[in-house]
Amino acid sequence: MPYPSSGGDSPYDAIAGLYHQHWDNWFVPQATPALERLFFPRLRPAAKLLDVCCGSGHMTRELASRGYRVTGIDNSAALLEYARREVRQARFVHADVREFRLEEKFEGALSTFDSMNHLLSVEDLASAFASVHAALEPAAPFVFDMNTEEAYRLDWTHWTAEVAEESVSLVQGRFDPTTRCVETEVIWFVRTGNGFWERRRSIVPQRCFEEKEVHAALEAAAFRSVTCRTAMEAGVTGEIGYGRVFFSCIA
């Protein structure tokens, strides 16, 4: 999830409920075939795993259901509240991915739903990779997906709306090809207990990186055997396969 200056609030805090309900529960089934190829075969049963930028715990739940011992980290305190309620068998830590340190070592790390795109500079990306590497045992796998510029060049200029009985959400994205930066504006109306509607608004920033930048940042963090595959090459067949790549490497 997005990482503002250390100690700052996450842009997801204001819209955590919307994210938990609508934005992530469709991702796991589509991404699972890629993980069956790139990640799960490299793990022993009941391995200790790190879910990097775990959000409200959708992927954490999948990992825990497979018998893995999972720790999730995220910079959004509000999303972690949902995660702790939903996945009680996992441990969750409120931390900045660019600078977190954990006492224990993990046998694998996973970061999904283009979470690494929420880091807005190559320097931040390299810092995050260094933090993940420090948390892993030697030769432990690290797998993550990222959106490419192809995905962000989709026509996001029109507002999209989703209407439910207790909420209404409006979403619009903006992509700047010069800076390769993205802003997703979210306006969310939630019905309160007294019958009124509460308005919440957030702007979620992202950035796309060139493949060579990601490779360089991984290698600077001492990751080895770095490979990059398109989502479709990795086995994704749903809509998330467009403009998405999966990186895999070992510590």
- CATH no. of 152-206: 2.20.25.110
Q: How many CB atoms are closer than 10 A to CB 50?
A: 26
Can you say how many angstroms the Cα of residue 23 is from the centroid of all Cα atoms in its chain?
A: 11
The string of pLDDT tens digits covering residues 83-115 is 999 999 999 999 999 999 999 999 999 999 999
pLDDT of residue 249: 98
Q: Judge contact between 5 and 205, C-beta under 8 A.
A: no
Sheet holding 197-207, edge to edge: 160-163, 167-176, 181-191, 197-207
Dihedral, CA atoms, 210, 204, 61, 49, nearest 10 degrees? 40
Q: 198-250: per-residue pLDDT in tens? A: 888 989 999 999 999 999 999 999 999 999 999 999 999 888 888 999 999 99
pLDDT digits (tens, 9 = 90+) for 24-66: 668 899 999 999 999 999 999 999 999 999 999 999 999 999 9
Task: Pick one of 1.20.1260.10, 3.40.50.150, 3.40.50.10860, 3.40.630.10 as the CATH number of 13-149+208-250.
Answer: 3.40.50.150
CATH 2.20.25.110 residue ranges in the chain?
152-206
- E-strand ranges in the chain read 48-52, 69-74, 91-94, 108-111, 141-147, 160-163, 167-176, 181-191, 197-207, 224-230, 244-250
pLDDT of residue 7: 43
When comparing pLDDT for 157 and 70, which is higher? 70
Instruction: Delimit the CATH 3.40.50.150 region(s) of the chain.
Output: 13-149+208-250
